[in-house]
Amino acid sequence: MHFLAHKNLRITSQRQAIVDTVFGTDKHFTAEQLLEWSRQRDKSVSRATVYRTLPLLTESGLVREMDFGKDYKFYDPNYAEHPNHNHIICNDCEKIVEFESDKIEKLETEITRQLGFSIKTQRLQITGSCEELKKLGACKKKSGC
């Protein structure tokens, strides 16, 4: 909550519920999912407060906004703990899986060194279909997203 105080913003019960919700999950989420989950903690949480708080969380570096080519953004609550992790996203059910790889990290270092750069941030995003689609011919989660 230091980032809110630094911006001279009041720590309201709504903001507290939103922040507690964000850092109480390890799942990626959309703004609408965050609204739903936050309202389970505090029924008074408004959509406007969620949409005003998310940019503060991303600006602070505690949460990462991710664009997967949808009409809405996803947010990564694990960004601060693991800033260099990568994502695989199912095109069908929007399942998001995080992974880290020493091989990828080594390759990134090698490429940036060859090209005369130093790594500041990196982002690898792979899209595909999850195993459920392969096994069943359709992802049963697709209609639920």
Question: What DSSP element (H or E) covers 40?
Answer: helix 31-41
Residue 31 belongs to what domain range?
Answer: 1-80
CATH at residue 66: 1.10.10.10
H-helix segments, 80-137: 102-114, 131-136
Same domain, 4 and 58: yes
Does residue 29 have a pLDDT over 90?
yes
Same domain, 33 and 70: yes
Of the residues 25, 55, 80, the one at which a domain ends: 80
Span 64-122, pLDDT tens digits: 888 887 888 999 887 656 667 788 888 777 888 888 888 988 898 899 999 999 887 77
List the one residue out of 64, 24, 58, 60 whose CA is nearest residue 41. 24
Same domain, 37 and 106: no
Q: What domain count does the chain have?
A: 2
Span 37-75, pLDDT tens digits: 999 999 999 999 999 999 988 888 888 888 887 888 999
Same domain, 73 and 130: no
Same domain, 100 and 36: no
Q: What is the pTM of this model?
A: 0.71
Same domain, 11 and 24: yes
CATH at residue 97: 3.30.1490.190
End-to-end CA distance of the chain: 31
Same domain, 35 and 97: no
Same domain, 117 and 62: no
